[in-house]
Structure 1
Amino acid sequence: MNISIKDILGKWQEFTLNNDYGMSVSVLNYGGIITKILVADQSGEVENVVLSYRNYEDYESNPHFLGTIVGRVAGRIKESSFQIDDKVYHLEANNGPNHLHGGPQGFHQIIWEAKPFQTDNEVGLRLTHKSPDGEGGYPGNMEVTVTYTLTNDNQLILDYAATTDQPTPIALTNHSYFNLSGNLVSTVHNHLVTIDSSKFVELDQNLIPTGKVLDVEETPFDFRQGLPLRTGFNDSSKQNSIVGNGYDHYFMFDHSKASVVTMEEPTSGRSMTIQTNQPGMVMYTSNGLDEGVSLAENTSEKYLGVCFETQGSPASLHHDAFPTILLKGGERYEQKTIFTFSAIK
C-alpha cells in the first residue's frame, strides 16, 4: 500500500491512495473531490469507475459537483431559508430561489487541509475545514473532518465528523458519479441496482420535497428485489418525468440488510455495495448532465453515471416527518459510508 502526491495547476494537490490489489482512489484537496477510482473487472482489467474531467481546470466551476464533498447541507433547501427556534436564517440561493448543495461557496469549492496516513492494512486522507459562523448564511462555527480510507478489501470508507458551537443544520455527502462499465464504455442503463428501501420522498415541480413519503410498491422506485436503472428512464410516471426522466429522489432506508445498496454491471462483472448509518440517500441518475463536456475517457451525456448521496434529508428543515439534521452545540456529528468493490472472476 502506498500514497502518491501530485501538484495540480500550481495550487492544488491530488493524493492517490493505492492498495495491494490494484485498486486506487485519487482525491483533490480542493473540494475533497474524488477524481478517479480504479478497480478491476472480471478479466482483471483495471479501469476508472467514476466520472472525472479531462481538464483539471473544469473542477473550478464543476456545475454538476463531480466527485465533491457537499455541505454544509447536501440537497435543496426550499426558498433558501430555515428556522431554528424563533430565528429565520437566509442562505445564498443558487438553484432558482432555492439553496443547493451548500450554496455557491459550499464545501465543494474550498481547499481543505489535507493529511495522508498509512497503516499496515489501509491508506487514507484526512481532510479538515473550519467553517466560520455565517459562512453561506449558516449559523455556528463548525469544525468538519472528512476521512477517506482505502483498505486491502477494496473498501473505500468515508467518515464524516463535525462539531458546532451553536445549533445548525448539517448533512454531508459525496457526489461521485459511478459507472461500473469502466472508462465510461457505456451509460448506466443496464446497471442493476438493489436498494433496501420501501419508502421514497415525493418531489414537486421544482424538485423540492413536498413532505409526503410514498410507498415504492408497484412503482419504478421499488428496487428491493433489484431493477435496471433504465426502468425509470423509460417510465412516464410523474415522479420520474419531473426530474428529467430518471431518478433524483430521496430513498429512506429500511436498514433490514447489511448493505443498503448493491449495484452490478453485467458486461464488466463489476459490483459495488454500500453500507452506511445514514437514514437515506438521494439517487441521482445524471438526468441533467450537460452533453459534450470533455471527461477523462469520453464526453458527457445524460445517464452516464449514477450518484448515491447517502445523507440526512434537508426536507426535515420544513417537515416534521423526517429525522432532524440539526446539530446542537456540544454534540458531535458522525456518519459513515462504505463502498465495497468486487468483480466476478
Structure 2
Amino acid sequence: MKVTIDSFGITPSGEIIERYTLDNGKGITVDLITYGATILKIATPDCGGNRSDITIGFDSIEDYLKKNHHFGSIVGRYANRIEGASFRLGGTTYHLEQNNGKNHIHGGSRGFDKYVWSAHVIEHEESASVVMQHISPDGDMGFPGTVSVQIAYTLDTMDTLTIDYSAFTDAPTVLNLTNHTYFNLSGNIGSPISDHVITVHADDYLPINEEGIPTPEAPQPVEDTVMDLTLPSVIGDKLYEKDPQLIFAGGFDHTYVLSKDHDKIVRLAAMLTHPDSGRSISIATSEPGIHVYTANSLDGKTKYRDGIVVPKHGAIAFETQHFPNSPNRPDFPTTVLTPEHTYTQKTKFTFNKVITTCNVK
C-alpha cells in the first residue's frame, strides 16, 4: 500500500497543512490533514461499485479555520463535557475555559483540533499508516502537565481503518481523546440520516440533564427507553420521539456504556447501515464508552464540501471515549493519567457492503 502527500494550504501564521491519502486498492481511500490530525474524507463504494465520500468536511483550510465543528478532528485534551469547567486533582482545583454554557467541552476554544500536528508515514504491503504527533504544554487551556500525544491512522486491505492513540504526561492530569468524524453513508451529505439503521451493543447509557451533563443516577438501563439501540433501529423512528432525553439534546447526544471498567479490550460497539446504498460500518473500540451524536447543532445553512448544505441530523458521529465529567465522578472509569502510565486507545472502523439490500444502479 502507498500513501500520497500534497499540500492542503497554509495557515495565516504560515504553517503548511499537509494532506495524506491512504488507498487500500479496493476502492477505499482515507484523506487526512495535519490540521487537527483530521480525517478529511473517507470514500467507499456502494453496493453498485460507485465511490462516494461518506463524511462531512470542507474543501479548504480557510473553512476549517472559520467554521469547524470538530469535523473529523482529534478532540482533546478532554472530549465531551466537564461540569462547571473545573475539577480537583491531587488537592488542587483546576479551572478550565467555560465554552459550553458554564461547562467545558472538547478541550476548549483551542483544543487539539486547532493545532497543526507533525506527521510521518509507515508503509507495509497490507497496510499503511500516517502517524501524527502533538505536544500540549503544561497549563494548556487550564489542564496540568505537559502531554505528548501520538495518533496513528492505519488503513489495511481488509477495509478497516484503525486509530491507535497513545500519550504520556510529565505530571498528573486528566485526558480523554476521541475522533469526531461525522458519517453519512448514503454518499449524499445533503440528505438526513433518518433512513440509516443503527445498532449499539450497550445495555446501559448515561442520561443527561439540560446541560448535557450525566445525571447523578447515571448509568441507567436502556431497556424500555427510546435509548435502546441493542437491536437494529431505523434512526428516524427513534430520533423524533418526544422523549425528554432527546429534547434536551435536540437528538442523540449520549454516551453508551460498553464497560464499567477500563479493561482496554477491543469490543464491537456499534454498527451503522444505509440499506439503499448497501454501505455499512462497524465500530470496535477499547474505550469504556461510545458517544452517539446525531449532528444536532448543524444549522442547515452552512456550505460544506462541494458547496453542499448539510441539514440538522444530516450526519452521525461515533465518539469512542471515556465518560463525560469523569474528573468529577469517581464512580466513572478514571481519566487520570500519571507519569508512570501511558494512555492508550484503539478504535477500528470496518467498512462493509450489505449487497442484499442494494437499491442503486
Q: Is the structural similarity TM-score above 0.5?
A: yes
Match of 1:342 in 2: 352
Aligned-partner Cα distance in 1 for 2:228–2:133? 38
Q: Is the 8 A contact 1:130 1:142 kept in 2?
A: yes
Q: Is the 8 A contact 2:9 2:60 kept in 1?
A: no
Q: Is the 8 A contact 1:140 1:166 kept in 2?
A: yes
1:316 Cα shift? 1.6
Match of 2:219 in 1: 213
Match of 1:322 in 2: 332
User: Per-residue CA shift, 1:157-191, capped at 9, x if unaligned?
Assistant: 00000001111111100000011101325211011
Match of 1:155 in 2: 160
Q: Is the 8 A contact 1:258 1:275 kept in 2?
A: yes
1:132 Cα shift? 1.0
Letter of the aligned partner of 1:319 in structure 2? R
| Equivalent residue runs for 1:9-24 within 5 Å | 9-10=9-10, 11-24=16-29
The answer to whether structure 1 residue 56 and structure 2 residue 66 are counterparts is no
Match of 1:284 in 2: 293
| Cα 1:112/1:118, change in 2 over 3 Å | same
Match of 2:242 in 1: 236
Match of 1:129 in 2: 134
TM-score of the superposed pair, with normalisation by structure 2:
0.92
The answer to whether structure 1 residue 84 and structure 2 residue 89 are counterparts is yes
User: Per-residue CA shift, 1:192-250, capped at 9, x if unaligned?
Assistant: 11111011111111111223222101111111112111133211010011101x10011
Aligned-partner Cα distance in 2 for 1:8–1:264? 31
Q: Structure 1: which 4+ aligned runs deviate by more than 6 Å?
A: none
Match of 1:166 in 2: 171
1:39 Cα shift? 0.5
Partner of 1:314: helix, strand, or coil? coil
Match of 2:358 in 1: none
The answer to whether structure 1 residue 273 and structure 2 residue 278 are counterparts is no
Aligned-partner Cα distance in 2 for 1:232–1:60? 34
1:20 Cα shift? 1.4
Aligned-partner Cα distance in 2 for 1:168–1:304? 36
Aligned-partner Cα distance in 2 for 1:27–1:183? 20
Aligned-partner Cα distance in 1 for 2:152–2:27? 21
1:254 Cα shift? 5.1
- Bigger shift: 166-175 or 9-18? 9-18
The answer to whether structure 1 residue 332 and structure 2 residue 326 are counterparts is no
- Bigger shift: 206-215 or 192-201? 206-215
User: Per-residue CA shift, 1:104-140, capped at 9, x if unaligned?
Assistant: 1110000001112211111110001111111111101
The gaps in structure 1 that reach 5 residues or longer are: none
The answer to whether structure 1 residue 8 and structure 2 residue 34 are counterparts is no
Aligned-partner Cα distance in 2 for 1:290–1:13? 29
| Cα 1:254/1:327, change in 2 over 3 Å | closer
Aligned-partner Cα distance in 1 for 2:338–2:248? 35
The answer to whether structure 1 residue 224 and structure 2 residue 230 are counterparts is yes
Alignment partner for residue 28 of structure 1, among 33, 39, 43?
A: 33
Letter of the aligned partner of 1:316 in structure 2? S
| Cα 1:324/1:258, change in 2 over 3 Å | closer
The answer to whether structure 1 residue 100 and structure 2 residue 110 are counterparts is no
- Bigger shift: 253-262 or 198-207? 253-262
1:312 Cα shift? 0.7
User: Per-residue CA shift, 1:237-295, capped at 9, x if unaligned?
Assistant: 10011101x10011101599942111110100001001111001110001111221111
Aligned-partner Cα distance in 2 for 1:195–1:310? 12
Partner of 1:239: helix, strand, or coil? helix
RMSD (Å), alpha carbons: 1.6
1:54 Cα shift? 3.6
Match of 2:321 in 1: 311
Aligned-partner Cα distance in 2 for 1:315–1:198? 20
Letter of the aligned partner of 2:73 in structure 1? T
Identical columns (%)? 35
Aligned-partner Cα distance in 2 for 1:137–1:338? 31
TM-score of the superposed pair, with normalisation by structure 1:
0.96
Q: Is the 8 A contact 2:190 2:314 kept in 1?
A: no
Alignment partner for residue 189 of structure 1, among 188, 194, 198?
A: 194
| Cα 1:189/1:92, change in 2 over 3 Å | same
Q: Is the 8 A contact 2:179 2:319 kept in 1?
A: yes
Q: Is the 8 A contact 2:161 2:350 kept in 1?
A: yes
| Cα 1:89/1:257, change in 2 over 3 Å | closer
Aligned-partner Cα distance in 2 for 1:325–1:16? 32
1:318 Cα shift? 1.4
Aligned-partner Cα distance in 1 for 2:259–2:202? 5
Aligned-partner Cα distance in 1 for 2:126–2:233? 35
Alignment partner for residue 111 of structure 1, among 106, 112, 116?
A: 116
The gaps in structure 2 that reach 5 residues or longer are: 11-15, 356-361
